[in-house]
Structure 1
Amino acid sequence: MGELPPVRASERITDAVYESLRQAILSGTLPPGTKLSVPNLALRLDVSRSPVREAVVRLTWDRLAVDEPRRGAVVARIDPQDLAELYEVREALEGVATRLAVQRGDSGLVPKLEQLLRQHIQAVGLDDVERHTKLDIQFHTAIRVASGNQHVIRQLDEIQAQVRLAMVTTAVTSGPSYAVEDHQRILEGIKSGDPDRAERAAREHIARLKVALRSSSAADRP
């Protein structure tokens, strides 16, 4: 079993333990089905059991962990149907976030997205899948933060975490080459100042990912 990310002393202990376990789940260090034993995790993280217990409860709230009969909390498994439903919600929320970001008019958003897009193009050119994934997340995160709507931000953060969990355990990817093309269209929509155009580009991007998801799921069936 891989090493867990270290607990940062500068953070509140429960938050630090939660973030360490969250990153371990999303990176695949704690794969789906892994039992989240409080005594074992407390020993591995060199902390008391109380913050670990609280962190595991939070992971359950975030749907990154589930309670199973006679086993307790284990790392969640995201099946194809769950993932498809997540993308249905994500399509609507990404559209709303992009529309709000345009309407809010954060002057720093376009330069930030342009920089991320340049880095993304380079990562795809180098076939750096890990870098692609990080930049893809950063692009969408920048837009949702610029929306200024805390409810939209929180819900999309939770959905993104579950999508990442699915990505480390399935053959589904976020399509590096066409992700860059779609991000370019989203950026152009934002730069145009037209909320309708920007929202449409964002929704079409997620819809395209849904199609890729269905194709991948069908190919994986025996």
Structure 2
Amino acid sequence: MAEQGVVPFAQAAQTQGGEDAIGGSLADTAYRQLRRSVLSGQRPPGSPLSVSALARDMGLSRSPVREAVQRLIHDGLATHVPHRGAQVVELDRRELMEIYEVKEPLEALASRLATARFSQADVERLEAMLVEQDRAVAGPVLAEESTLMELDRAFHSYIHRAAGNRVLCDTLAAWSSRTNLAFPSGWANPEYARLSVAEHHDIARAITSGDADEAERVTARHVRLVRTRLARWQARQAQDRAAGGVA
């Protein structure tokens, strides 16, 4: 029986439109699948990432799966524990809040730099992303959490790349993966999801209007508000556990 969040390689290739048959590597497919299962919460923090078990369930040899797990470790989504092997990384509340403290000025810097470099094509792409986000949070039922997380990641990653600073982009990419790992179920909260999308509109409006100061300000504010919502969500999770509820 396949582990939770893992599907055989042949099935994964079909669902991805045969990408691997036209050039994508087996390691790429394994990596995308494992990364998705980690970020969606299917593999919660502390879950083992046994190469042999994953290879068996995916119908792959160990080599591409081992490479995929190493990439997760490089991304900060997994860690190697002596005598136990690889597992999904666990973040305590203090470390998470410290990451957000550092993310705030760097995200703001990325928006400031991107404002000066945005082309008309960039403006149109960012606007298209916001249309997708609006659609995902419209109506009484939200899109799936994994979809909302991916839309959020794509929005911020686009701004990071537009900033034109590779060190900044790589640093934010690694930290964003880890913060998403800690907050997957938060996207199921309609209020949180819609607030984030509204704040994305503020960021995009400032960047596309060419106002670097405003872009920096509203981006920093967005990161602070997300950190506050995360802390509130974690507190509720702790209360649920203390009361014997489902976390």
Query: 1:215 aligns to what?
Result: 232
Query: 1:86 aligns to what?
Result: 99
Matches for 1:1-222 after TM superposition, within 5 Å: 1-4=3-6, 6=12, 8-9=20-21, 10-126=23-139, 127-130=141-144, 131-168=147-184, 175-222=192-239
SS state of the match for residue 86, structure 1?
Answer: helix
Q: Letter of the aligned partner of 1:29 in structure 2?
A: Q
SS state of the match for residue 28, structure 1?
Answer: coil
Q: Letter of the aligned partner of 2:75 in structure 1?
A: D
Shift of 1:170: 6.8
CA distance in 1 between partners of 2:125 and 2:187 (Å)? 30
Q: Letter of the aligned partner of 1:37 in structure 2?
A: S
Q: Deviations over 1:4-55 (max 9, x none)?
A: 2536342233333323322222223333222211111111222222232233
Residues 172, 217 of structure 1: alpha-carbon distance in 2 compared, 3 angstrom cutoff = farther
Residues 112, 16 of structure 1: alpha-carbon distance in 2 compared, 3 angstrom cutoff = same
CA distance in 2 between partners of 1:132 and 1:22 (Å)? 15
Q: Deviations over 1:89-147 (max 9, x none)?
A: 22122111111111113221222222222332232222314243332222212211221
Q: Letter of the aligned partner of 2:102 in structure 1?
A: V
- Contact 2:96–2:179, Cα closer than 8 Å, also in 1: yes
Structure 1 segments of 4+ aligned residues over 4 angstroms from their partners: 169-174
Segments of 5+ residues of structure 1 without an aligned counterpart are none
Q: Letter of the aligned partner of 1:209 in structure 2?
A: V
- Contact 2:118–2:208, Cα closer than 8 Å, also in 1: no
Residues 132, 60 of structure 1: alpha-carbon distance in 2 compared, 3 angstrom cutoff = closer
CA distance in 1 between partners of 2:188 and 2:172 (Å)? 19
SS state of the match for residue 175, structure 1?
Answer: helix
Q: Letter of the aligned partner of 2:201 in structure 1?
A: Q
User: Which sits farther off after the overlay, 113-122 or 94-103?
Assistant: 113-122
Query: 2:245 aligns to what?
Result: none
- Contact 1:129–1:176, Cα closer than 8 Å, also in 2: no
SS state of the match for residue 67, structure 2?
Answer: helix
SS state of the match for residue 91, structure 2?
Answer: coil
CA distance in 2 between partners of 1:215 and 1:66 (Å)? 27
Q: Letter of the aligned partner of 1:216 in structure 2?
A: W
CA distance in 1 between partners of 2:194 and 2:207 (Å)? 21
CA distance in 2 between partners of 1:192 and 1:141 (Å)? 19
Number of aligned positions between the proteins: 222
Shift of 1:202: 0.8
Residues 169, 177 of structure 1: alpha-carbon distance in 2 compared, 3 angstrom cutoff = closer
Shift of 1:3: 4.6
CA RMSD of aligned residues (A): 2.5
